[in-house]
Structure 1
Amino acid sequence: MSDFLLELRSEEIPARMQARAREDLAKLFVAELAKAGIAAPRVTTYATPRRLVLIAHDLPEATEAVREEVKGPRASAPPQALEGFLRKTGLTREVLIERDGVLFAVTEVPGRRTADVLGTAIPAIVRAFPWPKSMRWGAVSLSPESPRWVRPLQGIVALFGSDVVPCEVAGVSSGATTLGHRFHHPGPITIGSAGDYVEKLRACHVIVDQDERAAIIAVGAKMAARGAGLELVEDEGLLAENAGLTEWPVPLIGRFDAAYLAVPPEVIQLTARVNQKYFVCRDGEGRLANAFVCTANIDAADGGERIVAGNAKVLAARLSDAKFFYETDLRTPLDALLPKLAKIVFHEKLGTVADKVERVAKLAEWLAQEGIVPGCDPALARRAAELAKADLVTGMVGEFPELQGLMGGYYAAAQGEDPQVAEAVRDHYKPVGQGDDVPIAPVTVAVSLADKLDTIVSFFTVEMPPSGSRDPFALRRACLGIIQIIDRAGIRVPLLNASSRIAALVWDQRIDAEQKRDNDRVRLVSDALDILGLSRADILPSERLRLAIATHPTIEVLDSAAPDKVLNFFADRLKVQQREAGVRHDLIDAVFALGGEDDLVRLLARVHALQRFVTTEDGANLLAGYKRAANILKKEAPADAEVARDYTPEPAEAALIAALDAAEPRAAAAIEGERFEEAMAALASLRAPIDAFFTEVTVNDADPAKRAARLALLARVRGAVHSVADFAKIEG
């Protein structure tokens, strides 16, 4: 057994690609060895800015010889069958083996040296590597068949044990030599084997383990901040990125002009993070400090003073730009920016961002007026919705789209808007994803619900729902956000009503837009007719124009069934969201199947009560009895009640009738009062009478009157159970 080392050294590999590259390298390597029948028990991968590394542990020295046997035709088969088999195997009749009248082709496949397998695998891996972006280079790049790599490939180390595995890729031959740190040890290093690779590179100022580099940065950055009396603002994504940018990380702390702290802290943090890959710090009171931590790639002789000074200078320029954008934006009221939203297309089928704002404002105001969002002032909800998208045309959001909403909140507060309005503008996109804050302030809730619901319903209305794994407009995320808000705040949103309102607004806006376009065309034609001295009435009578607008082809794509489809969409998303909470998807289906249930709070309460009920003995037995009744009714539909009018029920039937007479009104009253546990308890009282009914009574009796009465009774049982949920949807 020996270890195999593969190092693919190149120019800088982008940090964002390194983690995926390590995974792909391991998968491709294992797959290539599997083709030769070699298993790789353990594979370790590393990535630095300049090298992608794989170490495969405990590989065999050679593959074992394999005896392959292929079954052929019978010995008595026609000559044509035998000839076809011989062509397929490349053998002659004399070498075939006959057993029990059947011919077999037996061949011995000799074992191969693992080194030979590896020599073939390396070029195959390089050629098949799925970089998100790659390039060709050098003279060989003139051929479209030339290998591609993320950056020009400069060296290959391929060692099986202590022996070089010979191969060549794009003119680069494998060997045992690599390079150390670009500045600290730029000369060649000879690697003896996979066992000494990591430590030899460490001695030459290269830490190949990305996790070790990340740990060094994490600890070093915290210590640098504490040394200055500050606390580091931790950022896992930035930590991984810094680890991917350095081979010998050295965290250093620097300062910037405190005057820039007048800019919102999120802007400073984003500027430092996105543009410069710097961490920021907080002071003892939790406020952003005028300090940053950068990660150098060298041990500087002056302790990093010049590096810090250079980075501080670059950061100052970035912060100066941010300060300029912020101060410039503050000079323009958000109201003055609203006309610009009419020039931004939200979607070609849904008009502009201004059209979306109009729909969201009307829906948010309605949610408040109807008391759907308790404690929400309708005027504030409308005002917040009208201003919510204004920051999209500000300089700051143009520079940092990630700050949309947040900057609008700052600008709304600065221009003296009600604090509830400013908060709603700031947070109306929330929750954006798992773990994000869920808004609870009434005005924010109204605007957030309206915005997300408008996005979902609008795209369903123009027949652009998500399909499969494709969800270009993030409708699933918007739906989960709505579910989170409703669940957290306990808000009773009538989804069908709200969806119908949005769909109607989309229709109205589309017709208005087509009317305006047609009016513009009418004016142009009218002007031309005036010049020609012709009559307008003969060319474009008003009735013809009205019909043309009503049947305009772009309006025909609108889906009048969108609200119902939206409700089904919520049902699917609710299953996903509730699965994590341990709620069975079939129970959600069972409640949704009743139809007309669009209050998610009430629906979830019913589902939770149902889940508790079906796990009890009474619930399980009632479900079994229901399914037996439903199966009978599938085959035998209840007959006309007149047939069974004069029939006198037997004791078991009478007991079930009495139980239904008592349970049905109790269950109905409990459901009306949303006391679903009580409704389940009422249904549980049917368990014993149903069991007795099936034990003592023959449903499909030869007497038509008996059969009709008993089928009608089973239909009544099914109806009683369906008042709570459609038990046919419940598994088990």
Structure 2
Amino acid sequence: MTHDFLLEMGLEELPANVVTASVDQLAQKVTNYLKAERLTFTGLKKFSTPRRLALQISGLADRQPDSDTEVKGPSEKIARTDNGWSKAALGFAHSQGIQPDDLVIKEVKGVAYVFANKHVTGQPAVTILSQLPNVIASLNFPTMMRWGTHQFQFVRPIKWLVALLDTEIVPMQLVDIQAGRTTQGHRFLGHPVELKQAQDYQAALEEVFVLADAQQRKQRIKDQIMAIAREQGWQVNLDAQLLEEVNNLVEWPTSFYGQFDRHFLTIPREVLITSMRNHQRFFYVEDEKNQLLPYFISVRNGNRDHLENVIQGNEKVLAARLYDAAFFYEEDQKHSIADFVTKLKEVSFHDQISTMYEKMERVQVITALIGKQVGLSQPELAELQRAASIYKFDLVTEMVGEFSELQGIMGEKYALLQGESPAVATAIREHYLPNVAGGALPATKIGAVLAVADKLDSILTFFAAKMVPSGSNDPYALRRQAAGIVSIVYQQQWQLPLDVLLNEVVQTEARKQFSPKVEQAPVIPQVISFIKERIKRFLKDTEVRYDLVNAATASTSTDICFMISSANELQKQQNKADFKANIEALSRVTRIASKQAGSFATIDPLLFENEAEVALHGAVDQLQNDFSQKSAASDYQQLANLRPVINDYFEKTMIMAENQNLKANRLAEMNRLAKIINEFASVDHIMTK
């Protein structure tokens, strides 16, 4: 016999961004709990609105299956005494809930042990389900709150609880709320509803103006919006993120359209779209040529009664925001870029580090160094320096002060209006990219250099100020910025050794007196390690084995592109017949070198005692000349080609010779070769078994 079970939590309105994640988490944890309790079911359906999280489970077993288990206890030697069972055996029997006389002896690999055979009768489903409040209490949310005098924490206060197994209420209590069969309809259009059975849930709520199925509700919103668009001859961008947010703000969606004054179309479209989408949760509309039209589509949480009042209210709110935007746009154009840049002298980047103006001075140093390193032309370098000298100016404009989402975007617009070159204007916008994980990267080289320089300065200075990310705490998004550096550099395929670059940055800033208040040089190794961790994350979703990733990032190289290419090359080589032998030969060298502390004297060829030493010395000389770190494939092949020379050397040469001069000479050779190997990868990390 199987059953249907309904669990619903009624809540004060949830933030739209946590609704879907919360019901998904609830479903996963309940599923895991039922599986752990061996209570089977055939189906689970999720329901969510701003005011409720619910699960409907079908095909639920009547009870747990009975189980027979055999538990191993102490050895017979410990369990028995001359007088019978020992204290250890009695304690074991008690812990298993059986009588000592029920213990049995069995041999395991020739040793006798005490065993307890237990028959456990399965508990009824209602008993298992009544413990679900413990599962609910284990849910995690970005922010938690308490209410009343309770110590219980949850995302929002719980207002009601429904728990029905077919027609019967499952006894349970959450905080001070007893489970029942009464749910609530739409806050304004509905009323309380008493459910007769679990299966009635969805249909009963629909009668009181609640579409509890989030996917059904989302589809209705999409259908309503597209119907309006077809009727009006509009094109609508159904932005997936906005659609998800709107869907989680309503229980009974009714879509409608409104309009705004056409003269607002003289404002940049990004401003209009931001005002509608980000601030009002409106969908913008376009004509067949993708030109913005003075209309919007929105979704009401209710029916069509008095809809004209809702439309007018939304139009007034949007008009007020657009009047502000038009005023800001006009006011900003009364000032030059130089005026805004001067204002940045009074804007703090961080009170322990510098002003925003001083940050731009530092970034000019970094962009000049990177630009030359990656081979920009003189005209490109000139445009790069111009962009770096003004790129934060829009932060003090009225428009960005009101619409912070438009930083960079308005910088590009205003730069073009004031006669800056398209390359400079584009770089101002692109320096923020990527602004989300996996987001778009700068499309221009100038924008890419500026983006890397800006992010590198932020990481370096915040580390120097001892504001290093820890755990989930990363208030300045330094991990995202480091990941952005990795993505951009790899996309551009730049050779950019971080140790050389960062040391040059610090030295040049000191010469130009652009240094921040904090000391940067001591944290350079820490910054490099931090970026190497982002390289590991970059490679995590690829098919590269974790040990190969560790080998590449633990190398002495600090070149982002080369480390990624090295990991990819090792992955490419791993299944070849000679890979294991190559790595073992190279690892033998690095292991010997790593165990010998201290520096080594210059190698003296006059101390060589056999041809194998001469051959290896010559091969390493050649390797030092040819090893470039420009091509991971070439470098690997050169190292692989050394395998027979290395093996011959070890076969004919005793490194730990009794003669200390010979020993030191041979260790110096090992150390010299190990340094080259470790520039490619720390091969000791590679698993070859």
TM-score by length of 2: 0.82
Task: Name the SS for the 1:6 alignment partner.
Answer: strand
Q: Would you say 1:671 and 2:627 are equivalent positions?
A: yes
Which residue identity lines up with residue 165 of structure 1 in the other structure? V
2: CA distance, partners of 1:429 / 1:176: 52
Instruction: For residue 215 of structure 1, report the CA deviation from its aligned partner.
Output: 2.1
Q: Would you say 1:56 and 2:57 are equivalent positions?
A: yes
CA shift digits 1:610-652 (9 cap, x unpaired): 65456543444332333345556778999998898484x4xxx
Instruction: For residue 599 of structure 1, report the CA deviation from its aligned partner.
Output: 4.1
Change (3 A) 1:658 1:106: closer
Out of 276, 296, 301, the residue aligned to residue 272 of structure 1 is: 276
Which residue is 1:336 aligned to? 339
Q: Would you say 1:163 and 2:178 are equivalent positions?
A: no
CA shift digits 1:265-308 (9 cap, x unpaired): 12211211222211112222222222211112334268x55543
Which residue identity lines up with residue 313 of structure 1 in the other structure? K
Change (3 A) 1:288 1:88: farther
Identity %: 29
CA shift digits 1:530-585 (9 cap, x unpaired): xxxxxxxxxxxxxxxxxxxxxxxxx6xx3533233333333332232234454556
Which residue identity lines up with residue 570 of structure 1 in the other structure? I
Instruction: For residue 351 of structure 1, report the CA deviation from its aligned partner.
Output: 2.1
Change (3 A) 1:689 1:377: closer
Which ranges of structure 2 fall in alignment gaps of 5 or more residues? 106-111
Which residue is 2:463 aligned to? 460
CA shift digits 1:324-368 (9 cap, x unpaired): 222222222232233433333322321222221221133324444
Out of 139, 145, 156, the residue aligned to residue 150 of structure 1 is: 156
Which residue is 2:581 aligned to? 621
Which residue is 1:313 aligned to? 316
Which residue is 1:567 aligned to? 528
CA shift digits 1:684-731 (9 cap, x unpaired): 44444555666x757589997999698888778767756755544544
Change (3 A) 1:690 1:324: same
Change (3 A) 1:458 1:705: closer
Which residue identity lines up with residue 180 of structure 2 in the other structure? G
**1:147–1:170 CA contact under 8 A, matched in 2:** no
**1:67–1:107 CA contact under 8 A, matched in 2:** yes
**2:433–2:451 CA contact under 8 A, matched in 1:** yes
1: CA distance, partners of 2:373 / 2:151: 67
Task: Name the SS for the 1:360 alignment partner.
Answer: helix
Task: Name the SS for the 1:2 alignment partner.
Answer: strand
1: CA distance, partners of 2:639 / 2:119: 72
Aligned length: 674
**1:89–1:105 CA contact under 8 A, matched in 2:** no
Which residue is 1:352 aligned to? 355
Which residue identity lines up with residue 671 of structure 1 in the other structure? F
Where do residues 650-661 of structure 1 align in structure 2 (5 Å cutoff)?
A: 653=611, 657-658=614-615, 661=618
1: CA distance, partners of 2:505 / 2:652: 54
Which residue is 2:108 aligned to? none
Which residue is 2:109 aligned to? none
Instruction: For residue 106 of structure 1, report the CA deviation from its aligned partner.
Output: 9.4
Instruction: For residue 264 of structure 1, report the CA deviation from its aligned partner.
Output: 1.6
Which residue identity lines up with residue 150 of structure 1 in the other structure? R
Which residue is 1:549 aligned to? none
Where do residues 677-692 of structure 1 align in structure 2 (5 Å cutoff)?
A: 677-688=633-644
Task: Name the SS for the 1:45 alignment partner.
Answer: strand
Which residue identity lines up with residue 263 of structure 1 in the other structure? I
**1:135–1:152 CA contact under 8 A, matched in 2:** no
**2:161–2:180 CA contact under 8 A, matched in 1:** yes
Change (3 A) 1:298 1:104: same
Which residue is 2:46 aligned to? 45
Q: Would you say 1:121 and 2:122 are equivalent positions?
A: no
2: CA distance, partners of 1:447 / 1:342: 20
Which residue is 1:293 aligned to? 297
Which residue identity lines up with residue 622 of structure 1 in the other structure? N
**1:643–1:704 CA contact under 8 A, matched in 2:** no
Change (3 A) 1:669 1:498: closer
TM-score by length of 1: 0.77
Which residue identity lines up with residue 192 of structure 1 in the other structure? K
Task: Name the SS for the 2:220 alignment partner.
Answer: helix
Which residue identity lines up with residue 626 of structure 1 in the other structure? L
2: CA distance, partners of 1:621 / 1:600: 28
**2:93–2:100 CA contact under 8 A, matched in 1:** no
Out of 475, 478, 481, the residue aligned to residue 475 of structure 1 is: 478
**2:93–2:103 CA contact under 8 A, matched in 1:** no
Which residue is 2:396 aligned to? 393
Change (3 A) 1:111 1:714: closer
Task: Name the SS for the 1:294 alignment partner.
Answer: strand
Which residue is 1:235 aligned to? 239
Which residue identity lines up with residue 53 of structure 1 in the other structure? A
Which residue is 2:446 aligned to? 443
1: CA distance, partners of 2:580 / 2:132: 58
Instruction: For residue 249 of structure 1, report the CA deviation from its aligned partner.
Output: 1.9
Which residue is 2:406 aligned to? 403
Which residue is 2:180 aligned to? 175
**1:644–1:705 CA contact under 8 A, matched in 2:** no
Which residue is 1:412 aligned to? 415
Which residue identity lines up with residue 393 of structure 1 in the other structure? V
Moved more, 70-79 or 476-485: 70-79
2: CA distance, partners of 1:299 / 1:351: 54
Instruction: For residue 20 of structure 1, report the CA deviation from its aligned partner.
Output: 2.9
2: CA distance, partners of 1:145 / 1:47: 26
Change (3 A) 1:233 1:726: same
Out of 262, 267, 280, the residue aligned to residue 266 of structure 2 is: 262
**2:459–2:527 CA contact under 8 A, matched in 1:** yes
Which residue is 1:224 aligned to? 228
Change (3 A) 1:660 1:172: closer
Which residue identity lines up with residue 463 of structure 2 in the other structure? F
Task: Name the SS for the 2:314 alignment partner.
Answer: helix
2: CA distance, partners of 1:213 / 1:92: 52
RMSD: 4.6
Where do residues 468-547 of structure 1 align in structure 2 (5 Å cutoff)?
A: 468-504=471-507
Moved more, 42-51 or 609-618: 609-618
Q: Which has the larger Rg?
A: 1
CA shift digits 1:213-240 (9 cap, x unpaired): 1122223323322332222122111111
Which residue is 1:576 aligned to? 537
Change (3 A) 1:135 1:455: closer
Change (3 A) 1:14 1:670: same
1: CA distance, partners of 2:550 / 2:12: 55
Task: Name the SS for the 1:206 alignment partner.
Answer: coil
Which residue is 1:250 aligned to? 254
Which residue identity lines up with residue 271 of structure 1 in the other structure? S
1: CA distance, partners of 2:630 / 2:155: 63
**1:13–1:50 CA contact under 8 A, matched in 2:** yes
**1:613–1:680 CA contact under 8 A, matched in 2:** no
2: CA distance, partners of 1:421 / 1:265: 21
Instruction: For residue 316 of structure 1, report the CA deviation from its aligned partner.
Output: 1.8
2: CA distance, partners of 1:639 / 1:416: 62
Task: Name the SS for the 2:627 alignment partner.
Answer: helix
Instruction: For residue 450 of structure 1, report the CA deviation from its aligned partner.
Output: 1.8
CA shift digits 1:484-530 (9 cap, x unpaired): 2222333343533432244357778999998xxxxxxxxxxxxxxxx
Task: Name the SS for the 1:245 alignment partner.
Answer: coil
